[in-house]
Structure 1
Amino acid sequence: MTTTVVMVHGIRTSATMWRAQREHLAARDVPSIAVDLPGHGTRMAETFTLEAAFATIDDAVRRAAERGRVLLAGHSMGGLLSIEYVGGEERPPVDGFIAASCTAIPRGLGLRTYRTLALGFDRLPGRGARISEWVLDRTLPAETRADFGAGGYAYDAQDVALRSLSVLDLLAALRRIEVPTWFVNGQYDQLRLNERLFASLVPHSELIVVPRTSHLVTAMRPRVFNAVLDLALATLEAAPPAS
């Protein structure tokens, strides 16, 4: 049975961040779909809303489910949204889930601090682009360096998207997830805060921490993340067909 991988990007970036993963999957003849959330990438002119974001994920998942099994992978904000989606009260047609760099509850002081820092950064000349590029130059390998920003940076969607995340009930959603799940974090990821809690709430889950890696685990260690994709695909292939 065919498995299609659906990928949901993080805040400010776009579907282009998954280029290395999509090329890896294509070499294995595994179909994939990488979406652009509202306000990001090819949809930069749109306003970000949770309703539109969930509709985007759901549309891609249901299109993929017409062909067979679905492995959903989300990074950062895309991972948080995907947790809420997979753990919805009405179970979507998702057979496996990879949640990368998204094991923190986006509420309270932590979220306020992140928003304040992001807004301050946005007020710098060029919206802080030179600093961002400097950091990416020194942390990402040449093979993925251009991918993170290839679809443009969604500066205008950033604060409204961050503010929207505070209404997610992730703990309730995590308790409802019944599919094989992999939580993947970089060792130095600032969103590792609740990783053990998240993993403890999902019965069929594994926590994978990648050494010497930042929040951008998919781009900083593309081969490691591709190996996680391979692991998830092999797990789904070995599972009996859904009744």
Structure 2
Amino acid sequence: MQPIVFIHGIRVSATMWDPVIAHLDRPAKAIDLPGHGTRAGEPFSMDAATSAVAEAIDSLGGSAVVVGLSLGGYVGIATAERFPGKVAGLVAMGCTSSSQAMLGVYRFVARLAARNPSRANRISEYGFRHLLPGPTGAAIVAGGLWCEAMPQVVDAVAEHDQLAALAAYPGRVWLVNGTRDPFRADERAFLRACRDGRLILIPGRGHLGVLAAPGPLARLIDDLCSCFQVERPASAVATPRPR
């Protein structure tokens, strides 16, 4: 049974994944990236982030499926490129956009947030709790919020060629997007870049909305992890079966 390493999104922390991990019956570990959570204050770079993921994989035996959402998905792609022997498979969620227009907006917002991070953190906390009320929203903010890290993160993601990274990785990749997620804009290009890729669309969910039902998401991830151990044919698009 392959263990899982979970990677969080921008300005949040490993606690984001707690509700999903609680529904899993396999070894799993969520990590904090540099500049976030227990690693706040550490400079963020893609090398530092992928090294953190590799260390977590080593702590679980040296091979794991990597699951990341948003920033976590981009870091997961970079980890698969840099450490292909450690990444048994990749589930990259909400990270299939390479739009320069969207990047420009995100860069502006990141710099604005970093000017007054305490205020930006309060606004972010309100937004997370409003978007995902109850335990899911509480888990997202439980490890703290780190808007001061956003400019470094956005620059690091912008400088990394995700399509080339996917093309370099020989393992299986599942691209998972909510159908309402704006970050799915270039999902077909990302899918074509994969040597062995699948695209899963979750109906009616937005960028963070995929976290709204942690039980079904955990079952989906568990099913995908099991698939990494089975030979499958060429790329396809799928939707999760209702449970």
Instruction: Answer yes or no: is the 8 Å Cα contact 1:65–1:93 preserved in 2.
Output: no
Which of residues 36, 42, 46 in structure 1 aligns to 2:42?
A: 46
Q: 1:212 to 1:218 in 2, by over 3 A?
A: closer
Letter in 1 for 2:60: A
Q: 1:74 aligns to what?
A: 68
Aligned partner of 1:154 in structure 2 is: 146
Q: 1:63-142 to 2 correspondence within 5 Å?
A: 63-66=59-62, 69-88=63-82, 91-105=84-98, 108-121=100-113, 126-142=118-134
Change in 2 beyond 3 A, CA 1:121/1:45? closer
Q: How many pairs were matched up?
A: 232
Greater Cα shift, 33-42 or 119-128: 119-128
Q: What is the match of residue 4 of structure 1?
A: 3
Shift of 1:129: 4.2
Question: Which among 31, 34, 49 is matched to residue 30 of structure 2?
Answer: 34
Q: How far has the Cα of 1:52 moved from its partner?
A: 1.5
**TM-score, length of structure 2 as denominator length:** 0.86
Q: Which residue of 2 aligns with 1:216?
A: 208
Asked if residue 18 in structure 1 is aligned to residue 11 in structure 2, the reply is no
Q: Distance in 1 between matches of 2:138 and 2:218?
A: 18
In the alignment, structure 2 segments of 5+ residues that lack a partner are: 232-243
**1:83-109, Cα deviation, whole Å (9 max, x unpaired):** 122123x62321111001111127x33
2:30 is paired with a residue whose SS is strand
Between the aligned residues of both structures, percent identity stands at: 33
Q: Is the 8 A contact 1:38 1:48 kept in 2?
A: yes
**Alpha-carbon separation, structure 2, partners of 1:223 and 1:141:** 16
Identify which range, 14-23 or 198-207, moves more after superposition: 198-207
Q: CA deviation at 1:125?
A: 9.1
Cα distance change, pair 203–52 in 1 and its aligned pair in 2 (3 A): closer
Contact preservation (8 Å) 2:79, 2:87: no
